[in-house]
């Protein structure tokens, strides 16, 4: 599924182009994970102010009057933004038609969502965003707060990263990669990480996510940004999806285990 880097790459690929655009209309296809919450006609005539990201949500700020669209790509969703899109096809479920182009959500599995909220502090938005952890790519992310959050959790460090309440957006691919870079075995209990190891993980998360954004994210199946471009981070992954292949650092074989129904990849020599 699209993780934080893929969502950020998607945002970067269209945010500047749609900012200032006037909405002509909106169209809804088959129902998604959650309803829009208002009639699609309510969006017409408004202007797109900015496009932000919170965790794996894209936040489209509207004005005239103010409002907010929260977009989630779910398991298989992707966005396209162009002035020459063809008519909606089977797996297209939302079009935001503007005077600068159409923003379209395609989602074969329909776990994605487009939700309207009157403001970020409205009950609808708080329900979706209120429990999210710190933003790992933000300059405000604090390493001492990160370590304190880990100290309160007794689950494995991989599961804590995926939970998203200590730090947001470190999904399955990037959790495996960050733990490898930090030299931490994914089954280690989060609360048992000493400050120095938590610091290494803090830095590794930032490095891995930043590199992934620079590489356009990861395209394991069909992810592409709003211009239709694929990502390439998966080609340089150290452990993810490399079971039985030599570790890029020590040449021991990469191992795989299942945690919470998700595959985890690690090196038993480099990660302790």
Percent pLDDT > 90 in the chain is: 85
pLDDT at 102: 98
Q: Which two tokens stand for residue 24?
A: 């002509």
Distances (CA, A) of 67 to 117, 169, 173: 6, 24, 33
2 vs 168: CA distance, rounded Å: 14
Mean pLDDT, residues 84-103 = 96
Which of 168 and 218 is assigned the larger pLDDT?
168
* Predicted confidence band of residue 271 (pLDDT cuts 50, 70, 90): very high
pLDDT (tens digit, 9 = 90+) per residue, 199-225?
Answer: 999 999 999 999 889 887 665 455 555
pLDDT at 229: 63
56 is catalytic: yes
pLDDT at 1: 63
pLDDT at 227: 59
* Predicted confidence band of residue 136 (pLDDT cuts 50, 70, 90): very high
pLDDT greater than 80 at residue 270: yes
151 is catalytic: no
Selecting among 11, 46, 56, 242, the annotated active-site residue is 56
pLDDT (tens digit, 9 = 90+) per residue, 173-197?
Answer: 999 999 999 999 999 999 999 999 9
pLDDT at 214: 86
* Predicted confidence band of residue 76 (pLDDT cuts 50, 70, 90): confident
Selecting among 2, 5, 136, 186, the annotated active-site residue is 2
Mean pLDDT, residues 135-152 = 96
206 is catalytic: no
Strands 47-54 and 67-72: unpaired
Return the half-sphere exposure (C-beta side, CA atoms, 13 A cut-off) of residue 75: 6
pLDDT at 262: 92
262 is catalytic: yes
Mean pLDDT value across the chain:
93
Mean pLDDT, residues 250-265 = 95
Selecting among 3, 6, 8, 177, the annotated active-site residue is 3
Domain annotation for the chain: domains and CATH numbers? 4-129 (3.20.190.10), 143-266 (1.10.8.50)
């Amino acid at each position: 599924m699209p993780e934080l880097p893929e969502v950020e790459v998607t945002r970067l690929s269209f945010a500047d182009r749609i900012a200032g655009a006037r909405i002509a209309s909106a169209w809804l296809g088959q129902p998604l994970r959650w309803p829009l919450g208002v009639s699609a006609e309510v969006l017409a005539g408004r202007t797109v102010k900015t496009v932000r990201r919170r965790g794996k949500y894209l936040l489209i700020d509207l004005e005239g009057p103010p409002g907010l669209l929260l977009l989630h790509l779910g398991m298989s969703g992707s966005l396209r933004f162009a002035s020459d899109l063809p008519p909606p096809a089977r797996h297209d479920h939302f079009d935001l038609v503007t005077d600068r182009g159409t923003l379209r959500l395609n989602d074969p599995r329909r776990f994605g969502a487009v939700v309207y909220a009157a403001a970020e502090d409205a009950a609808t938005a708080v329900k979706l965003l209120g429990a999210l952890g710190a933003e790992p790519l933000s300059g405000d992310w604090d390493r001492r707060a990160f370590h304190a959050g880990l100290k309160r959790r007794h689950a494995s460090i991989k599961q804590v990263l995926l939970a998203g309440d200590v730090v947001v957006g470190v999904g399955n691919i990037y959790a495996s990669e960050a733990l490898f870079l930090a030299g931490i075995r994914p089954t280690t209990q989060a609360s048992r990480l000493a400050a120095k190891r938590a610091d290494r993980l803090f830095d590794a998360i930032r490095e891995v996510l930043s590199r992934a954004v620079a590489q356009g994210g990861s395209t394991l199946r069909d992810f592409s940004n709003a211009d239709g471009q694929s990502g390439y981070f998966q080609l340089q992954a150290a452990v993810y999806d490399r079971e039985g292949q030599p570790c890029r650092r020590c040449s021991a074989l990469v191992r795989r285990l299942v945690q919470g129904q998700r595959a985890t990849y690690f090196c038993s020599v480099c990660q302790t």
